[in-house]
Structure 1
Amino acid sequence: MLKAAGYTNGVLVGSVTPGGPAEKAGIKAEDILVAIDGKPIKDGEELVSKVSEMPIDSKLKVTVDRAGKKLDLMVTVLDREEVFKDDPRFARRRNETPTPEKVEGTPAKFGIMIRPMSETEKDALKLGEGDQRGIYVTKVEEGSFAAEIGLQERDVIISVNRQPVATPEDLRKLQSTLKPGDAVAFRVMRPTPGRQQGAPGYVAFFAAGTLPEGN
């Protein structure tokens, strides 16, 4: 995942909880957390471990890479369960079967079928006023690269390798620059189970891997 952004260590931020400690500190989605109190962070597990060891209400200096620029931000530590409640790594596995989509999409070599999203669908993502990112996954081929990294039908792809994706053509242009052995990181919005009709909710995360030979 981080190789796509030029890193071997660190944590790529998938989403930031509104009103949470990360947002208050100024951390944004797609930032890369590279150090805490000046000490490099290897991965997400090390990040969780370090944060868990700190007393509640203590402050940490978090160094992030934002589009190639290093920033030092002060984060106030809260209860671990609250801080990481939206992190897919700590969510319980759900066994819901996605409802198949009948809309035909555009084939992509990642092993997915995609289609454009309507303005109403994009508004439901709540990415921010004027933010038009998002293409809809209508099918994931069994045994494909997309399936191996965990993409599912009804996922919404927001970016690839930190490059925004607003249309199927955007994805085609990005995939044309990739070759076997390249690292690929998708930022994805996934509908949350149990959402009410007309009021969908989404959880953001990264799905990443290395393109296999012969892809």
Structure 2
Amino acid sequence: MRLLLVEDDLMIGESLRLALRQEGYAVDWVRDISAANTTLASERFDLVLLDLGLPEGGPQARTSTSPAPSGLSVLQALRARQDNTPVIVLTARDGPGERVLGLDSGADDYLVKPFELDELNARIRAVLRRQSGRSQPLLSYGAVTLDPATRQVTLNGHPVLLSARELALLEALLQRPGALLSRAQLEDRLYGWGEEIESNAVTVYIHQLRRKLGADFIQNMRGVGYYVGSPSGNSSDKP
């Protein structure tokens, strides 16, 4: 899963990015309104974590008579262009009016600082389930089951040990069985900005998952992408 963190506090931002990457998410981080708007207009993310007390950024400074900038403007701009990317607001603004305004502006959830990382992870999983139309927390196909909460994978009921990036790739495929994901799309799920991507990384992780889950579990349509399941009307190649 690829997340965008919009947070101006360096200590909070660094801590969240590290913690979320350890959970298997690819996390990109921007620190002001201008950078958030530019990034969201040009790139796709599975979910946005949005602070409200953000500096404006960009070449134009705020005048003394203009209202204080707010991360809500990022959310409102996102929804105005019909972008349904899930957004969880993370903020110290805990008044009921602030919560109502955030949710009515299009936020999918609202979490008040300080918060426990376990709660944030649970809310991320819940929002992503709703976004994908799933009611069940487990991801399954055939004999393979992944529990996003515990990060445990089982094959025929027996636990299978996977690395963080193997888990991330498997989760991306299990979320939409039968959907083709290109190599570039899978790389986006595995790596954030500034992380070095080896040219054969996806191929290596696919090979490792096949070795652990079954040689035919993940299919490949040559030149198009990878999938689990059976896309109708398409043939597959194994490499």
TM-score, length-scaled by structure 2: 0.21
More helix by share: 2
**Greater radius of gyration (CA):** 2
More strand by share: 1
